[in-house]
Amino acid sequence: MPVLSDPVVTLEGVSLRNVSLSSIGLEVAIRVENPNPLGADLQECLFTVIYPNGGADNRIATGNTGGAKIPARGSAVLRVPVSSDNAALIGALAAFVTHGGIELTIKGTAVLKFLMITKPVPFSRTMSVSIGEIADIVTGQNKKE
């Protein structure tokens, strides 16, 4: 049997869904690419949304895409809504107000299965969220269906 290439897992994007005094709703979009001639089953893709603050990673939310079929030599984008943890929200909001935005990092591991072979694929990406994006959500100009 030929050697399988590693699947590629990337963060397609993070968008804000809603903002309230007690939580922030995010939508995390994760792309899983399969360069192999065999289809793959994504068993799960666990991830954590964090914001770096003074050298420490503060967890805001966690999520899991659940299972999905990834076609041979194809890809799939999986969108997962997550909500913030209230305790972490206070520090994130303080950083947000102080700097006019915040950097969020998504770290995780996708677990794919090809026939009898299971491959864990780690990934990480950092993105910025600006005060303008928050304003659009609060005013309803960036509504997600």
How does pLDDT run across 118-137, given as a tens digit for each residue? 999 998 888 877 766 655 65
Q: Is it the case that residue 45 has pLDDT exceeding 90? A: yes
pTM of this structure: 0.75
CATH code, domain with 106: 2.60.40.10
User: Nearest Cα to 34, choosing from 14, 4, 56?
Assistant: 4
Q: What is the DSSP letter of 39?
A: -
> Which position has the token pair 């006019």?
100
Residue 38 lies in a domain: yes
Q: What is the pLDDT of residue 12?
A: 83
Residue 145 lies in a domain: no
**Residue 1, both tokens:** 């049997």
Asked whether the predicted pLDDT for residue 145 surpasses 50, the reply is: no
The total number of residues shown for the chain amounts to 145
Average pLDDT value over all residues in the chain: 82
Residue 125 lies in a domain: yes
Which range marks the domain in which residue 102 is found?
A: 8-138
Question: Rounded mean pLDDT of 40-62?
Answer: 87
Count of domains forming the chain = 1
Specify if 1 maps to a domain: no
Residue 64: inside a domain = yes
Q: Running DSSP on this structure, what letter comes out for residue 92?
A: H
Q: Give pLDDT tens digits for 93-118.
A: 666 777 777 788 889 999 999 988 89
Neighbours of 72 (CB within 10 A): 12
Band (pLDDT 50/70/90 cuts) for residue 58 is confident
Check residue 143 and give its pLDDT.
52
The neighbour count for residue 106, using CB atoms within 10 Å, is 23
Tokens of 56: 């420490």
More confident site: 48 or 87: 48
Q: Which residues contact 121 (CB under 8 A, 6 or more apart)?
A: 6, 7, 8, 9, 109, 110, 111, 112
